[in-house]
């Protein structure tokens, strides 16, 4: 018997760690895989399947291909399996969905997995509030199909997963609301968003700046400015690669949303706090909104406020954008060249730019506000 019951129980006990620190989900999944003699695992929602879910490194390529090839849209496991889970089943395996192995292997999803050496699958159902989720276990061909006694052991995980997921969602939402409330206390408009662009929560200050050119409609952020919309979509699509920021950081990606009859709104994308990154909540970003119709500042003050620069760094940023060399800036401001070089590094880091022309283009947008 390959299943390690004691290790499976220890893995179940670790679910509480993932509630407070969603970053622990992958480690917990790896523990479950080890106990179940299984190559990899991931979490998937039954009806809305998105790519920003915890998966073990061993199946990351398989999951990336699953979404890239749109196999999640017509996932046979979901189409045939979800009704069984909704009827009360706690665990499923391949044999519950197909009449024979040949039929299974001819399915596009299994052909995709087969190219990576995977074949056998089992899913443990659980609830996260009203949503049905599954912990999907994936074995390679040589590891063999899941057996009946293993399914009985997996079923014992279902209730524990439901408790952890429900608590994770609740804790994450409270942390998220607390963050938005903190922005509200300093009268800074803010909202939270998923990686798919769905608005989850917004504070009172945000509702006060909405108008026909910039507002939330049907849980989506509507902007008349098409360029700003495309820029936001690009940030969301590349969030794992581009938005590697410390939780609580005041520095973020900047988007300028122009309006027809008013000055623009400056959007800053920030990562959500740790516990709010619950996979069952879906929050990935906090967007702070600066309404320049209300805020009237000098260029130096505006650069400093938007990019979290010091006044000295804002002065250097303006000169770098104008084409000045660090040596010229040092002479003009009567600073050492080492000091200026450090300030230039800080400016590029905080504005998420790498070259003078990128910084110039970004500050050019500021000047045209």
Q: For 108-118, how does the pLDDT look when each residue is reduced to its tens digit (9 = 90+)?
A: 999 999 999 99
The continuous run of DSSP H or E covering 5 comes out as: helix 5-13
Segment among 124-138, 152-166, 322-336 with least mean pLDDT: 322-336
DSSP3 helix / strand / coil % (the chain, rounded to 5): 50, 20, 30
- Confidence (pLDDT) at 368: 54
Which residue shows structure tokens 């399915």? 107
Percent of the chain with pLDDT over 90: 64
Are 183 and 288 contacting, i.e. CB atoms less than 8 angstroms apart? yes
The pTM assigned to this predicted structure is: 0.76
From start to end of 20-90, where are the E strands? Answer: 40-45
The string of DSSP letters for 283-326 reads: EEEEEEEEETTT----HHHHHHHHHT--HHHHHHHHHHHTT--H
Q: Residue 250 above 70 pLDDT?
A: no
Rg over CA atoms, the chain: 25
User: Considering only CA atoms, which of 8, 30, 12, 15 is closest in space to residue 164?
Assistant: 15
User: Domains of the chain by range and CATH?
Assistant: 5-165 (3.30.450.80), 186-296 (3.30.450.20), 298-369 (1.10.10.10)
- Confidence (pLDDT) at 248: 41
Q: For 54-107, how does the pLDDT look when each residue is reduced to its tens digit (9 = 90+)?
A: 999 999 999 999 999 999 999 999 999 999 999 999 999 999 999 999 999 999
Task: Give the whole-angstrom CA distance, residue 242 versus residue 199.
Answer: 20
């Amino acid at each position: 018997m390959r299943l390690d019951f004691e290790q499976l129980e220890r893995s179940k006990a670790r679910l509480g760690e993932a509630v407070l620190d969603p970053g622990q989900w992958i480690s917990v999944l790896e523990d479950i895989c080890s106990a179940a003699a299984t190559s990899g695992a991931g979490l998937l929602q039954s009806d809305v399947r998105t790519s920003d879910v915890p998966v073990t490194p061993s199946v990351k390529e398989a999951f990336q291909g699953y979404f890239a090839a749109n196999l999640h849209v017509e996932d046979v496991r979901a189409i045939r399996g979800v009704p069984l889970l909704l009827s009360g089943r706690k665990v499923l395996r391949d044999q519950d969905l197909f009449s024979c192995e040949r039929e299974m292997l001819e399915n596009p999803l299994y052909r995709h997995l087969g190219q990576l050496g995977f074949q056998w699958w089992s899913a443990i159902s659980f609830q996260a509030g009203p949503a049905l989720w599954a912990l999907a276990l994936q074995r390679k061909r040589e590891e063999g199909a899941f057996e009946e006694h293993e399914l009985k052991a997996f079923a014992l995980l279902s209730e524990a997963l439901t408790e952890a997921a429900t608590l994770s969602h609740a804790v994450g939402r409270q942390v998220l609301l607390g963050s938005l409330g903190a922005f509200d206390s300093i009268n800074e408009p803010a909202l939270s968003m998923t990686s798919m662009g769905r608005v989850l929560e917004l504070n009172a200050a945000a509702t006060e700046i909405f108008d026909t050119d910039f507002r939330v409609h049907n849980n989506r952020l509507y902007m008349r400015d098409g360029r700003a919309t495309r820029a936001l979509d690009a940030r969301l699509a590349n969030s794992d690669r581009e938005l590697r920021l410390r939780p609580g950081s005041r520095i973020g990606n900047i988007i300028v949303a122009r309006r027809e009859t008013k000055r623009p709104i400056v959007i800053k994308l920030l990562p959500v706090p740790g516990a709010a990154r619950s996979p069952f909540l879906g929050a990935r970003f906090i967007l702070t909104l600066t309404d320049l119709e209300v805020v009237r500042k000098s260029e130096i003050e505006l650069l400093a406020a938007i990019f979290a620069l010091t006044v000295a760094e804002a002065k250097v940023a303006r000169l770098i954008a104008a084409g000045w060399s660090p040596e010229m800036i040092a002479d003009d401001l009567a600073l050492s060249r080492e000091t200026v070089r450090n300030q230039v590094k800080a400016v590029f880091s905080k504005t998420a730019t790498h070259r003078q022309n990128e910084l110039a283009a970004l500050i050019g947008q500021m000047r045209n506000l």
